[in-house]
Structure 1
Amino acid sequence: MSSPAWPRTKLADPDDPGPVIRLMSSCFAAGAGRLNEFYAEARRRDPHNFDMHELAVMLTCAKWYGSHERMFAVAHSAAEAAPPGHRTTLLPLFAHFEYAMREFAWDDRSKQSQKAVRRYFRKPEVQQDCDAWIAKFRSAPPSSEQLTQVRQWMAAYYSLIRRRKEAKVVFDEIGPYVSPDNQWGWFWGDMEYGYLKSWWWANGVAGI
């Protein structure tokens, strides 16, 4: 959408994506009727803004207003456009978590559900996709200091596919102070338990 259609005031920077991202977040309650319009304007203002693209992935997933196909398309498009080292390059990992949660753990957090999640992430095509985006992220110095969330995505991915060495590297990068993200609860039954169990395993303390 072209910028002249958006109101301009002395108090609002016409290139600040924040107000439009707030409008995007309102779609959770108001519906997705204007999502494409808001998303386009937010991208015009800040093409690689992480919060904007994460919201778009969430709003276009199957549990909200989209589908698996649309969600992956949004995540891959944002990651492809983002420069190396930008945390937006890791949004496809989040899309895979959303897919696995909706398909295998939506109504079931049993052992069988957890096994189905692990089988999904061990598929060669899933690992090829995730590994490629992690490689792009790792190929340049990080462009943000707000990396705990995306590093947890990498740690959860490596824990699910039992790559202990890579998992430990990421846990070490996260450091001792962390609020566990949602995927630990989705795939381990409890966020704190899932994070700690995986940290213990990565550090050789316990099995997973």
Structure 2
Amino acid sequence: MTAARTSAPESAPESAPASTPRPGLRERKKLKTRLAIREATYRLIREQGYEATTVEQIAEAAEVSPSTVFRYFPTKEDIVLTDEFDPLLERELRERPADEPIVESLRHVMRRAVGFVRTEEPEISRLRTKLMIEVPAVRSRMLESMSVTGGILRRAIAERTGRDPGDLEVRTFAMGLIGALTETAAYWAEHDHKDDLAALVDRTLDLLAHGFPEARNSR
């Protein structure tokens, strides 16, 4: 789950409900175009680096016009950051049992998000997170657009807890979660993606649920 968001998934994980309706022809064409743009972007970045890759080059490689690229992705950074889970985030939270602790509901949803990451080629997942921590423009855009996901989380948390989305506690928890998950992704990348991402997410949610563990007495 990253910060810049747009539309429905390009491909669903194996655990997606069987009842999910198949997209219409127009929507499938849009998804095909989005996928072509993203694949072209990743290929060019791997070959020549992020800074050297231009929107014009991406458009040519994807066989679309630069205006089409900008219609799907407002900035080059958005091509890297945009994932396909946010449109499902709110629905996933609403489908969890009403009496389930909110952190456990979030744990379930985050496991689905990790499932989306795993449907990508491992090389692409690694490249995405590497760019998030190494390229200032990508990280800046990610931080700038976190409010989009924050709004989704605030609405869902407020609905589950009977609070107003603008309450301090709701806002703090939602943005704290986003910040924590962002740092989890950064940790994963900084450690060469050696750890299991799902296990890292579980550690993060345990910390949010139970607080920082007390330091052991070294004496």
- TM-score between both structures, scaled by the size of structure 1: 0.35
Bigger relative contact order (CA 8 A; separation at least 6): 2
